[in-house]
Every structure is written in C-alpha cells, then in structure tokens.
Amino acid sequence: MKKLFSILAIALIVYSCKDNESAGASAAVINQEEVTGDLPVFGADFKNETILSAYELGEIYSNLKTGDTVKVTFEGPVKEVCQAKGCWMQVDVGAEDPVMVKFKDYGFFVPKDLEGKRVVVHGMAFISEVPVEEQQHYAKDAGKSEAEITAITLPKKSLGFTASGVKIAE
C-alpha cells in the first residue's frame, strides 16, 4: 500500500511539473468552487476533495495493478450509461478504454441521459478482470445488437471505479 501511495505521489509531482498544454485533455475542467456549490448529487455528498482531471486519473490507472485500489475524486465526460436503470456509466479518462463506474452497494443510480455530460465522481479506483458474461451483460444494458453481444468472447482487464457519490456538472 505504501508503494502505491509513493507511486501516486511521484506521478502527481511529475504531472504537476509538465506544461499546462499536456493537461488540455479536459476542455472544461471543473474547479473546486463549482463542486462545493449546488450541483445535483447522486449517492453520498462530498466536498473539499482534490479533483483530478480525467488525464490525471488516466496516469494513476497506468500505475495500478490488478487488486490495487486508490481513493480519488475525478471529473470527466460520460461516454455511456446503462439504459436499463442507470446502474453504471463509463467515463472517458483519455485511456484506450473508458472507466467503468459502478455505484457503491448498488445504492443509487444516475439519470440515463448523462451521455456527453461532465460529472465529478468520488470513490475507489481499481483495475479488474471482467469475465465474458459480465461484458455481455453490460453490452445488453447499453442496447448493443445481438451480433455485438455474441462477438464478446474473451475476458479483459478493465479500469474500474466504485463511486460513493456523483455530481453532475453540465
């Protein structure tokens, strides 16, 4: 755990030393004051957290191994939402695949029309291996065709996130 925090600290220091141009992956970065304001909240409210950009979270994920977890708050654009109930969403962090965000203890859902909107998410980031059946389930929830669903035949590593709270920024 200490090694993970050391890696995280080094990654953040290195990132903060880069030009602001490289942090441009997030066009409409949400500032601290906006998050402590009156944004709609789903799940547990959170305030006064350091908010990482999607790019910064992508850097953290690049240092995680399967089984590692780290508590973070980040912002980014929603790529996809469960169309059955709003029980999961995928958020772009500038990595090859978006982050799969599920909600702590299945305790809350988000609106199904969040695609393209920016959110601030608070919780635990981790890497997991997603079995074929689970991938197919998510594809079905997302409204994919039967051909797309049956084309899923191999487990894959996934950027996972268990959110305790979500704020909708736009």
Fold of 2-168: OB fold (Dihydrolipoamide Acetyltransferase, E2P) (2.40.50)
Give the per-residue pLDDT at 37: 56
Give the per-residue pLDDT at 58: 85
Residues comprising the chain, all counted:
170
Give the per-residue pLDDT at 62: 87
- Joined tokens for residue 23: 């942090």
Q: Can you give the pLDDT of all 170 residues of the chain as single tens digits?
A: 444 444 444 444 334 333 333 333 333 344 444 444 578 899 999 988 999 988 898 889 988 988 899 999 999 999 999 999 999 999 998 888 899 999 999 999 999 999 999 999 999 999 988 899 999 998 988 889 999 999 999 998 889 999 999 999 87
Domain segments of the chain: what residues? Answer: 2-168
pTM of the predicted protein model: 0.71
